[in-house]
Copies of this chain bind each other. A is one copy, B any other.
Amino acid sequence: MNGAERLLETLVENGVDVCFANPGTSEMQLVSAIGNNDSMRAVLCLFEGVVSGAADGYARMADKPAVTLLHVGSGFSNSMANQHNAKRAHVPLVNVVGDHATYHLQYDAPLTSDVPGHAKLCSEWVGISKSADDLAVNGAKAVQVSMQGWGKVTTVVAPANHAWEESTKQAPALTTPDMETVSAITVSKIASALSSGKVTARFLGGRALREDSLAAAGLIAKATGARIICETFPARLQRGAGRVPVERLPYFAEQAAEVLGGLEQLVLVGAGVPVSFFAYPGKDSLLAPDNCEILKLADIHQNTATALQAVAREIGASIPAETARSAPETPPPCGVLSPLAIAQSLVQLMPDQAIVSDEAATCGLPMFSVTENAPPHEWMTITGGAIGQGLPLSLGAAIACPDRKVIALQADGSAMYTVQALWSMARENTDVTVVIMNNRSYAILNIELARVGAGQPTPKTLSMFDLSRPDINWLEISEGMGVPATRATTAEEFHQQFAEAMMSRGPRLIEAMVVQQMP
């Protein structure tokens, strides 16, 4: 058995069974090992940013890592933007990146680069294989570390000769440590703060946005009136009818400061202190009021569900919060195809347990609140802010949950970054409905330009946010990559096409020619 085969065996034994791959010559033994292993599913992606984004989407839904297969430093760098998003989403992920044979590095062949240096920029753990046996040992360790806390991005650097040399020693199957629980002292401290009568909100992120944590947060809300605010870009929020609703911190700093205005206490539950996404001239980076006391219940990677449940017990909170109601029956939306009209179609047509990938940017913001009354679903957003996440994320989520409908709400500008994901959706026949919000613009940048005080824009300035000249034809691009597509220019057309998409299986794309009112 060579090192590559041993690594594969080890990954499978440690519970990893999906590989998103874009290999090159230095990974041929690994490809061959996968090709000979029935337990590892291989999903070919035509760009590395699709590989990493898909692994992120898979992990968000499966709560375990997929493995990626990437080619030397340049291939890895193509994956880094979505590695960044995965890291910020605190998901488990195991990268395997091939490098030149160790003895070949000294010759500085054209593709030589600092592979560990690349890996360290966006991984929380990097293992560099020292031998054919060590390759699998690193693989086992990577899986173990990736499952610590909520999850971590890990990378194994695999020199080509370690993949082809003989491995004689089995690597261990490692156990995953349990998630750290919050101390009784912290629980008591937070319980008394919540009972103090001060104006209080909780700021929830990460795993605190799953149903179990939210139910406990709801008990506390009912007992104390403390609000539940969710981070601006949740990795995976469980919401919809029958679930405890949350307020979402707005993206724009002024609006966020308003939502947090008047608070005397803010309790962090698996989230950091709320800060502005970007700095703006003369504006504060911190969003909570100056005199608001910041308290922390649970750190990132701690168990938020047990912490919230303990607080609820300590304050004797036992009455469940009101949950989101199902939307009343209404006629289908008609007329102008606005983001709001699309959201109304979603509410009426989304199946139970749908998975939404929201990278709709300016279009997505108004769609969020309307869909609170949709059937129970997951809402996944761009946690790290690196655009080009939405299509790969929905591909990966669909691989993780083949029986659930995945809906990708996708801005046109961002879609272009990792457009190659469409091809893998077609190849794997994933049940993803992509809705391209075609506003022919980097619309967010038009808004940000005004917000940063960059002066009156010239036509040349505005041309740098303009995606027309030429207009992008998403029907042709989608069908060119094998995903059937239709175009909607009115709310009625969209509603009908989306209804058809919800009733059938398999990938499809709707190009929504949205008309937008800017915030």
Contacts and interface: CB of A to CB of B under 8 A. Distances in A.
A78 B121 CA distance: 13
A465 to B, nearest CB: 8
A245 interface: no
A111 B472 CA distance: 27
Contact of A480 (B276, B458, B474): B474
A130 B215 CA distance: 48
A74 interface: yes
Given A386-B111, A460-B42, A470-B482, A279 B32 contact: no
A255 to B, nearest CB: 16
A247 interface: no
A209 to B, nearest CB: 15
Interface stretch (A291-299, A340-348, A365-373, A416-424): A416-424
A219 interface: no
Contacts of A482: 470-473
B47 A417 contact: yes
A28 B281 CA distance: 12
B80 A278 contact: no
Interface string A145-189: 000000000000000110010000000000000000000000000
Contacts of A21: 464
Contact of A276 (B109, B384, B459, B472): B109
Interface residue range, chain A: 35 or more
A445 interface: yes
A107 B470 contact: no
A461 B36 contact: yes
A319 interface: no
Which of A103, A110, A117, A233 gathers the greatest number of chain B CB atoms within 10 Å? A110
A88 interface: yes
A161 B283 CA distance: 12
A475 interface: yes
A29 interface: yes
A44 B276 contact: no
A416 B46 contact: yes
A457 B32 CA distance: 7
A110 B383 contact: yes
A480 B472 contact: yes
A277 to B, nearest CB: 6
Nearest to A273: B107
Interface string A465-494: 011011111111101111000000000000
Interface stretch (A352-360, A402-410, A446-454): A446-454
A472 B423 contact: yes
B386 A277 contact: no
A84 interface: yes
Contacts of A377: none
A420 B47 CA distance: 12
Contacts of A272: 108
A35 interface: yes
A281 B26 CA distance: 11
B279 A104 contact: yes
Interface in A99-132: 100-101, 103-104, 107-111, 113-114, 117-118, 121-122
B34 A104 contact: no
A458 B36 contact: yes
Nearest to A111: B385
Nearest to A5: B455
Contact of A278 (B25, B275, B449, B476): B25
Given A28-B448, A74-B384, A80-B80, A113 B104 contact: no
A29 B450 CA distance: 10
Given A74-B80, A279-B161, A448-B28, A121 B111 contact: no
Contacts of A383: 110
A339 interface: no
29 contacts: A25-B445, A25-B452, A29-B452, A31-B445, A35-B457, A35-B463, A36-B458, A42-B460, A42-B463, A44-B463, A49-B78, A74-B84, A84-B113, A88-B110, A100-B278, A100-B279, A101-B278, A101-B279, A103-B285, A107-B273, A107-B276, A108-B275, A110-B233, A111-B278, A118-B121, A419-B419, A472-B480, A474-B480, A480-B480
